[in-house]
């Protein structure tokens, strides 16, 4: 159809002034309708798109949670770490770092039911299964300590590739119910306890002390173990001397799990290396400020800093264990190699670090 014969074609030149006004009103009415329809479409589309984005966001959150669990259960071997060095651009340094690898026993937690758990099995949180002749551990002022964990060495023996831990017995860990100790003061020695029971018999589950606050009673979690390897932290002396500033940034890009509970290996530090602090504090020097590090005795004592090794690391894991150390921090229990060999766990030291 030609433009001249098209009845829908608007021809203002053919209209009288009155007709023009009628068409103008109709035009405005039509335009208003079109605008209203467009706005409706935009609003409906926006709502649908928002729902889609919310669903996508929820799926991403689920995927991220799954990713975290996958990382936690990842078995890190020397070969796997070598590949990671390649991916972050540090492959030329691998031969220097490989000899520094340390074996560790990774601890994976999952919630358990105390009533159906056999006494003496390894666990984090809950109530301890202590020898009948041993009372719940307390501070010097009589306040009960929080029960942190018990490790049955028989369960983890096959994961101890360096044969550093005892073959039998149960090791118990307790810590200040009010989180009153950070480990930089020699006076903190009664704020935690590491107790070794060489046998697994004649034990029973203890009720929480009535004066132990609810927030200091943690959820019981059963434990699974995996043998993995670990690298020194970025602030380790070897790392800072070997890598440039840019390379340290790349080193920090090596994949790390979000939650790390473990025995042995390198500590996953939040603030600084702890060997020297353990050495100085256990020799009577206060390390809450620079005084202990500047003490004339510190220089000689420093030689023994490398004798300290990580015994147990407990992470903040609010969802499972209900534990939160400071601002998403970690508890670290340390012991000298010789004391571990002699099963002298009374000489363990504890440090709390958080961001």
- Segment 286-315 mean pLDDT: 96
Phi, psi (degrees; rounded to nearest 5) at 150: -135, 135
The conformation of residue 60, written as its DSSP 8-state character, comes to: H
pLDDT band at 199 (very low <50, low <70, confident <90, very high): confident
* DSSP H helix total and E strand total for the chain: 10, 12
pLDDT band at 253 (very low <50, low <70, confident <90, very high): confident
Q: pLDDT tens-digit profile of 79-134? A: 988 999 999 999 999 999 999 999 999 999 998 876 557 899 999 999 999 999 99
Asked whether the beta carbons of 130 and 199 are under 8 A apart, the reply is no
Residues 275, 261: Cα–Cα separation, whole Å: 19
Q: How far apart are CA 304 and CA 113, in angstroms?
A: 43
Tell me which of 67-76, 88-97, 178-187, 313-322 is least confident. Answer: 67-76
Q: What CATH homologous superfamily does 73-353 map to?
A: YwqG-like (2.30.320.10)
What's the whole-number average pLDDT of the chain?
83
Task: List Cβ neighbours of 141 (8 Å cut-off, separation of 6 or more).
Answer: none
Contact 182, 188 (CB under 8 A): yes
Domain map (residue ranges) of the chain: 14-68, 73-353
Enter the pTM of the model.
Answer: 0.78
Indicate if the alpha-carbon torsion angle 141, 328, 263, 183 is positive or negative: negative
């Amino acid at each position: 159809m030609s433009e001249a014969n098209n009845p829908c074609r608007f021809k203002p030149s053919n209209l009288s002034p009155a007709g023009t006004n009628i068409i103008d009103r109709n035009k405005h009415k039509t335009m208003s309708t079109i605008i209203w329809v467009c706005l409706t479409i935009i609003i409906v589309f926006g709502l649908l798109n928002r729902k889609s984005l919310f669903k996508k966001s929820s799926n991403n959150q689920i995927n991220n949670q799954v990713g975290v669990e996958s990382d936690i259960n990842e078995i890190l071997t020397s070969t796997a770490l070598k590949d990671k060095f390649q991916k972050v651009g540090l492959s030329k340094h691998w031969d220097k770092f490989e000899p520094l690898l340390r074996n560790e026993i990774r601890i994976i937690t999952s919630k358990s039911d105390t009533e159906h758990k056999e006494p003496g099995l390894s666990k984090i949180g809950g109530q301890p299964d202590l020898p009948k002749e041993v009372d719940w551990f307390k501070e010097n002022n009589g306040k009960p300590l929080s029960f942190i964990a018990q490790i049955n060495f028989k369960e983890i023996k096959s994961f101890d590739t360096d044969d550093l831990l005892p073959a039998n017995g149960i090791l118990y860990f307790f810590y200040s119910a009010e989180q009153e100790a950070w480990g930089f003061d020699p006076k903190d020695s009664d704020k935690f306890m590491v107790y070794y029971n060489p046998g697994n018999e004649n034990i029973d589950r203890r009720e929480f002390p009535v004066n132990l606050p609810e927030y200091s009673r943690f959820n019981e979690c059963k434990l699974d173990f995996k043998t993995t390897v670990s690298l020194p932290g970025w602030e380790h002396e070897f790392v800072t001397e070997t890598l440039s500033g840019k390379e340290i940034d790349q080193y920090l890009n090596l994949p790390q799990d979000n939650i790390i509970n473990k025995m042995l290996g390198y500590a996953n530090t939040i603030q600084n290396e702890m060997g020297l602090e353990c050495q100085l504090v256990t020799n009577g020097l206060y390390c809450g400020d620079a005084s202990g590090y500047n003490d004339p005795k510190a220089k000689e004592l420093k030689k023994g800093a490398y004798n300290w090794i990580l015994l147990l690391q407990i992470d903040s894991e609010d969802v499972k264990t209900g534990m939160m150390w400071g601002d998403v921090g970690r508890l670290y229990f340390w012991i000298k190699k010789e004391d571990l060999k002699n099963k002298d766990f009374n000489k363990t030291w504890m440090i709390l670090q958080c961001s």
